[in-house]
Chain A
Amino acid sequence: MVRHATIPPQPTRRAWLQQLGRVAGSGAVYAALTQLGLAQASPARADFGLGRAPKGARVLVLGAGLAGLVSAYELHRAGYQVQLLEYQARPGGRCWTLRGGDRYTELGGASQHCEFAPGEYFNPGPWRIPYHHHGVLGYCKRLGVALQPFIQVNHNAYVHGQQAFGGKPQRWRELQADFQGQVSELLAKVVQQHQLDETLSSEDQARLLEALRSHGALDAQGRYRAGEIAAERRGFGPQPGGGVSAAPPHDQPLGLHDVLASGLAGRLDLGSGFEYQMPLFQPVGGMDAIARALAKAVGPRIRYRARVTEIQQDERGVTAQYEDLARPGAQLSVSADWCICTLPLAVLSQVEMRISPALRAAIDAVSYFAAVKVGLQFGRRFWEEDEGIYGGISSTDLAIRTIGYPSHHFHARKGVLLGAYAFGANAYEFSALAPAERVREALRLGAQIHPQYPAEFEHGMAVAWHRHPATLGCFAWWTQAARERHYAQLLRMDGRLMLAGEHASLLPAWQEGAVLSAQHAVTALHAKASA
């Protein structure tokens, strides 16, 4: 399955920056970040805040996802009169957690009633926070949102390929150790055969050999062989322990050919990317703890179930027309001096707005990435009990792509797995199925990795982001051409209106993008309002 090797394990926003980096060098990336006020964002922004608001100044914030909530929170703190309009009946947008008792109705009308056990939950949107996402972490700290570690890399989880090793899932630990060991041995041989004499000094060759021995768990002769040294990396067949049993024999490592032919060697980078390096975090009890804390701090300024239909502005102020979904057909309007608009671009492209043609073109230029997540509750934590997998992620080339194990409630009776995190073509294919069918497919496919699925399954919830009524997609899928042509325009204040959200950031899909974008927007607005 060589073709699968080209699929990144996660949909990431790194691609664009990497591309920019390749084309223009890392300096350009840093310049782009700096220009947007992002590169210097990190630790210094822990005390982010605006100065005093002009007396009586009013701001309308559209959308109560993280960008809208952070905007409203900061503006309110500065003394602005703030009013929010939100389409859904809850705050948070994609910062969202499903629990027992929740009902979710997707576009097309299919409704799912969540029957997860008390205390169990599933984050259909963001589920992890990198340690360097200082914006999100800063609000968690300031608002008292308790965090716990999110286990990204679990050496004991699986890497699975349908055509690899007869479809038998491999422990990440063994595959990783064997690949690293075999590659180290190969390089050591190259050095020992004097093939690098022109490239490296003899001192550096000696240093390299020594480093390879520890890097690859090689023996004194530079070989990666079954034995104590390799077993300290890849693990032991029967675990050594107490008692009088004979010392266990050591498993034979996989040869380099076996690792390469499996096609899995390129899928060992689960924790290598900057956003995926440990430690990562998750809020205790569900991601929406962040949204709830912000909404509480914003107070009674959020009008829920309001569908924005039109945004008008002139030199005196901004007016939004909206439909009160509690009273269908009722058109209401609200006015303010300024507006921060955080509606997703997929939605905003259909809202009538009085804005410059350039901003309209930018809004219309971006479509949304497709992703589907399925949460599966099982009556027994077989992944912990039978397989010793506590948290972390197994990756597969099946359409489910990912199985995520809960990083919390270890040894509880039940548990909810992330049973699918599909993207690309598979996300469209999953989206087109009815929710119950998505759950059935996640079970059918996942059972190839965990045969315990059918016996232990209790309940599933499936969220296809293109069917989400409030966002019509997962996150802004910027092409490089669209970035170059439209991105700067999207961040420019248009009259009395400023856009914010993950789509208006260089960190699409990440909550940090929404937070930094909101800080950028309120800063620009405040500067103009105070002028």
Chain B
Amino acid sequence: MKKQFLLTLSLLALPALALDEPRFSAGWGFDQRSGPALYAAICAGCHMPDGRGARGAAAYPALAGNARLAATPYLLRMILKGGKAMPAFAGVLDDGQVGAVAGEVLRRFGPPGANPIGKDEVAALRAAIQQEQRSQAP
């Protein structure tokens, strides 16, 4: 009983981390698989653990209450391709991971009732971005 109480307590204390996910990845790419673990490993660094963003000489936009999250392709495109201060993560996350972390962002900060994001949707957008980049090459 006491053991179960402690377990519940620790889960409450670390809502964002699945228990079997590594805190640190082994190579250039990320090893975490679940949305909460990927959010904690990547997004929280700049957008902060609670998604409120930050402001210094320039700002990291808040995810909480961000109207742009209404458009899933915008979110996926930012994760894959980046833009301005936001790095591209296409090279360090696979389609499943991109879907998982985008789903987590939507679940926590997006409009209510957002659907989970499938690997196929990510793969299609990844291919479209690669096509755009090829056609832009000088």
Most chain B beta-carbon contacts within 10 A, residue among A4, A346, A370: A346
Known A107-B60, A481-B137; contact A424-B45, beta-carbon cutoff 8 A: no
Does A466 contact B46, Cβ atoms closer than 8 Å?
A: yes
Does A464 contact B58, Cβ atoms closer than 8 Å?
A: no
How many residue pairs at the A-B interface have CB separations less than 8 Å? 116
**Alpha-carbon gap, A481 to B48, bound state (A):** 30
A428 touches which of B41, B56, B137 (Cβ 8 Å)? B41
Chain B 38-80 against A: per-residue CB contact (8 Å), 1 yes, 0 no? 0011111110110000111111100000000000000000000
Does A6 contact B27, Cβ atoms closer than 8 Å?
A: yes
Stretch at the interface among A126-134, A211-219, A347-355: A347-355
Known A6-B28, A426-B25, A441-B23; contact A469-B57, beta-carbon cutoff 8 A: yes
A485 touches which of B26, B45, B138 (Cβ 8 Å)? B138
Give the distance to chain A from B16, nearest Cβ to Cβ, in Å: 10
Does B42 contact A428, Cβ atoms closer than 8 Å?
A: yes
A368 touches which of B23, B57, B85 (Cβ 8 Å)? B85
B interface SS class: loop
Chain A 449-480 against B: per-residue CB contact (8 Å), 1 yes, 0 no? 00000000000000010111111110001000
Contacts of B49 in A (CB 8 A): 432
Does B25 contact A367, Cβ atoms closer than 8 Å?
A: no
Does B58 contact A347, Cβ atoms closer than 8 Å?
A: yes
**Alpha-carbon gap, A346 to B45, bound state (A):** 15
A358 in contact (CB, < 8 A): no
Give the distance to chain B from A94, nearest Cβ to Cβ, in Å: 13
Give the B interface residue count (CB, 8 A): 37
Most chain B beta-carbon contacts within 10 A, residue among A307, A367, A470: A367
Give the distance to chain B from A8, nearest Cβ to Cβ, in Å: 10
Contacts of B113 in A (CB 8 A): none
Stretch at the interface among B4-12, B86-94, B104-112, B119-127: B86-94
Binding site for A on B (CB under 8 A): 23-31, 40-46, 48-49, 54-60, 82-88, 92, 133, 136-138
Binding site for B on A (CB under 8 A): 1, 3-4, 6-7, 87, 107-109, 307-308, 343, 346-347, 349-351, 364, 367-368, 370, 397-399, 424-426, 428-429, 431-432, 441, 464, 466-473, 477, 481, 484-485
